């Protein structure tokens, strides 16, 4: 096969340019990423070798070798793992098939990325970090169990293109050869390589080796020193999760977390325990302190790494964690599962269900202990992951009250930077109050002065402030200690049952006017009725009980998604002077055109109050000016 030229996909070109020119600190992570990729390749080969012995190719000593060549100015990272064929190398090294690519590139453009190099690993583009320290990268790879010695050579200068050609390669696996930049030659020094491996890759299960030159006593001439080259292992290869907790320092726990998560921050909490009984397994799990930027993308990889008797079976085992705990990272090593376990087997395996239930309980218990004993630390965690955790209220019916105990909310009874729990809310509920009230919006600032809160504020009822898009979907069907959660911007509200007679009188008084207003707004509103939630405002728009939350509706529309049209309910305040004036006009002349004009003004005002656009701003302005002119004459 002659040499072929290929263009990088557009997003890879931009990514490479940003990585080369924008990331100045922590450049040494390129070695961590390449060692991690090599380790993954060996894990895949070792797993496949369980059912295909041809993959061993007469060698079962898995290893990753680092070869610095000062004369050539190259650093080579080699593995004897699974290798790649032509299609794989084009796919893996030429394209980023990820829906969050644009967001990631934008994040790389931001100033914050210089202090967050872990984003490279989180996003899965670690190989490209090679170009931060090298002018030219060559990849020589051969697929395991291929049957011949033909390999593929990939080369690029990060100039927007790469080349491919066929080559000879003795063994299976991959060699990544970096032609280092002149100012990055320190990565050829033995002490620098040792330091980086110790810092980032000490817990890699496979030996990371390097050939070093040592002075030794000559066996031939006594008293004479000779120089010999030999391979030395640079990493400890300790399966940290199998050690006793008492033998592991916090620093060791933290470094292992950084190794598996590609995170530079220490975790918020470490969970390490051994389960015995119906299912024997060891779990080492971490609750992060910082949220990965891509946690809400569908490609975000969920689940701990699954080992069976220290053999890595899969890197992200989704079957072991529910989606609302997807932020948890770690390792689970089972003694009971078969080595040839597959995803299909995992989905119907009772042992897996036992492990999952144990892990979920341990994680929720740990969060509960944090909330109770380390509230400030828990609050920081919740600000990062609360939006993810609350999904459990919707997805995990059997544990929804336990998850509800962990939730925190902004509230009308709390200052800007303070949060309230459902337990605190219920303890402080008014006598006779049967529901937990909440309001949704983009931010606390947006809703705190909302007209929907007027009666609640007047009667000193607490209202939780929910600002996540999913809140109404998640909380709308939730009950906590027998108390339903109710949105104050949907359905009917009646906080004062003692005034039922007054309400009946008002309904009787305004019945005809309400009918006329409804006729004038027949194309815009589903219903017109008296409000039980307004105190100072004349009107507001509310959704029907069970309708889509307005906050979610606006978000979907802003994303360009079609949202089914739904008519709102216009609520009017029977105690407001404007409504009383409209009634006076109606009593004097039922066909007075002012009633129609005022009806339209009320509706437009209600649209503005809920943050929606006016249908006809020009007409609204004319009507308002007309009203102002009439008032000025009076």
d(CA 134, CA 275): 47
**Regions of the chain where pLDDT drops below 70:** 1, 10-11, 18-25, 58-60, 94-125, 339-343, 497-499, 550-561, 563-565, 630-634
Torsion of CA 428, 434, 439, 445, to 10 degrees: -20
Count Cβ atoms within 10 A of the Cβ of residue 578 and give its class: 0-12 exposed, 13-18 middle, 19 or more buried.
middle
Q: Which CATH class is domain 240-376?
A: alpha beta
* pLDDT score, position 108: 61
> Which structure tokens are listed for 454?
């007027």
* pLDDT score, position 558: 63
Return residue ranges of the chain for CATH 3.40.50.11260: 407-487
- What SS3 string covers 502-563? HHHHHHHHHHHHHHHHHHHCCCCEEEEEECCCCCCCCEEEEECCCCCCHHHHHHHHHCCCCC
d(CA 461, CA 66): 66
Strand 269-275 to 305-308 pairing: unpaired
Return residue ranges of the chain for CATH 3.30.230.80: 240-376
305 CB neighbour count, 10 Å cutoff: 20
Return residue ranges of the chain for CATH 1.20.120.790: 497-545+563-633
**CATH numeric code, 497-545+563-633:** 1.20.120.790
The pTM (predicted TM-score) of the whole model is: 0.72
Q: Which fold has domain 407-487?
A: Rossmann fold (3.40.50)
* pLDDT score, position 97: 46
d(CA 81, CA 72): 26
Q: Which fold has domain 4-215+222-233?
A: Heat Shock Protein 90 (3.30.565)
Helical segments of 49-117, H only: 86-94, 101-109
- Decide if 339 contacts 308 (C-beta within 8 A): yes
Q: DSSP letters of 600-631?
A: HHHHHHHHHHTTPPPS-HHHHHHHHHHHHHHH
* pLDDT score, position 110: 61
Q: Using one digit for the tens of pLDDT, what is the confidence trace for 37-77?
A: 898 899 888 888 888 877 877 666 899 999 999 999 999 99
Which residues fall within 8 angstroms of residue 624, CB to CB, at 6 or more apart? 601
30 CB neighbour count, 10 Å cutoff: 28
Return residue ranges of the chain for CATH 3.30.565.10: 4-215+222-233
* pLDDT score, position 518: 94
* pLDDT score, position 492: 87
């Amino acid at each position: 096969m002659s040499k072929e030229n290929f263009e990088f996909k557009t997003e890879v070109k931009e990514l490479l340019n940003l990585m080369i020119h924008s990331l100045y600190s922590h450049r040494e992570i390129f070695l961590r990423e390449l060692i991690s990729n090599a380790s993954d390749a060996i894990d895949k080969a070792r797993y496949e070798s369980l059912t295909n012995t041809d993959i061993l190719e007469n060698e079962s000593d898995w290893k990753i070798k680092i070869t610095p060549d000062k004369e050539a100015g190259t650093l080579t990272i080699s593995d004897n793992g699974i290798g790649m064929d032509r299609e794989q190398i084009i796919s893996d090294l030429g394209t980023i098939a990820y829906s969050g690519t644009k967001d990631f590139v934008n994040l790389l453009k931001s100033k914050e990325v210089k202090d967050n190099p872990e984003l490279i690993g989180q996003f899965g583009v670690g190989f490209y970090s090679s170009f931060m320290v090298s002018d030219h990268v060559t990849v020589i790879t051969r697929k395991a169990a291929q049957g011949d010695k033909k390999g593929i050579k990939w080369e690029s200068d990060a100039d927007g293109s790469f080349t491919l050609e066929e080559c000879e390669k003795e063994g299976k696996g991959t060699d990544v050869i970096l032609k280092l930049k002149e100012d990055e030659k320190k990565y050829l020094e033995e002490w620098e390589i040792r330091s980086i491996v110790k810092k980032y890759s000490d817990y890699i299960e496979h030996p990371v080796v390097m050939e070093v030159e040592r002075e030794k006593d000559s066996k031939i001439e006594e008293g004479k020193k000779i120089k010999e080259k030999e391979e030395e292992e640079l990493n400890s290869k300790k399966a940290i999760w199998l050690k006793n907790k008492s033998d592991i320092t916090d620093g060791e726990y933290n470094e292992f977390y950084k190794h598996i998560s590609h995170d530079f921050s220490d975790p918020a909490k470490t969970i390490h325990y051994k389960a015995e009984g119906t299912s024997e397994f060891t779990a080492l799990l971490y609750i992060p302190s910082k949220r990965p930027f891509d946690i809400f993308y569908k490609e975000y990889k969920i689940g701990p790494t699954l080992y069976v008797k220290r053999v890595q079976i899969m890197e992200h085992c989704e079957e072991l964690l529910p989606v609302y705990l997807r932020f948890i990272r770690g390792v689970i090593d089972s003694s009971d599962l078969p080595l040839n376990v597959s995803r299909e087997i995992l989905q119907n395996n009772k042992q897996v269900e036992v492990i999952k239930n144990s892990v979920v309980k341990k994680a929720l218990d740990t969060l509960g202990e944090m909330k109770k004993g380390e509230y400030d630390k828990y609050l920081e965690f919740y600000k990062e992951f609360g939006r993810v955790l609350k999904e459990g209220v919707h997805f995990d019916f059997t544990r929804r009250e336990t998850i509800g105990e962990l939730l925190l909310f902004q509230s009308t009874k709390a200052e800007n930077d303070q949060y309230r729990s459902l337990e605190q809310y219920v303890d402080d509920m008014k006598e006779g109050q049967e529901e937990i009230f909440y309001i949704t919006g983009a931010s606390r600032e947006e809703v705190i002065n909302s007209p929907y809160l007027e009666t609640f504020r007047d009667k000193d009822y607490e209202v939780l402030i929910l600002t996540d898009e999913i809140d109404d979907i998640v909380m709308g069907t939730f009950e906590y200690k027998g108390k339903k959660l109710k949105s104050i911007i949907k359905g009917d509200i009646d906080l004062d049952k003692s005034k039922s007679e007054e309400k009946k009188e008002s309904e009787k008084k305004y019945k005809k006017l309400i009918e006329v207003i409804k006729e004038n707004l027949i194309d815009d509103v589903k219903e017109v009725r008296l409000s039980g939630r307004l105190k100072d405002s004349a009107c507001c728009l509310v959704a029907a009980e069970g309708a889509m939350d307005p906050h979610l509706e606006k978000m979907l529309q802003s994303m360009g998604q079609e949202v089914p049209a739904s008519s709102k309910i216009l609520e009017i305040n029977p105690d407001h002077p404007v409504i009383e004036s409209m009634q006076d006009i109606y009593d004097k002349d039922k066909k007075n055109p002012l009633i129609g004009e005022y009806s339209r003004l009320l509706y437009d005002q209600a649209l503005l109050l809920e943050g929606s656009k006016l249908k006809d701003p020009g007409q609204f302005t004319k009507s308002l000016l007309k009203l102002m002119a009439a008032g000025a004459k009076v």
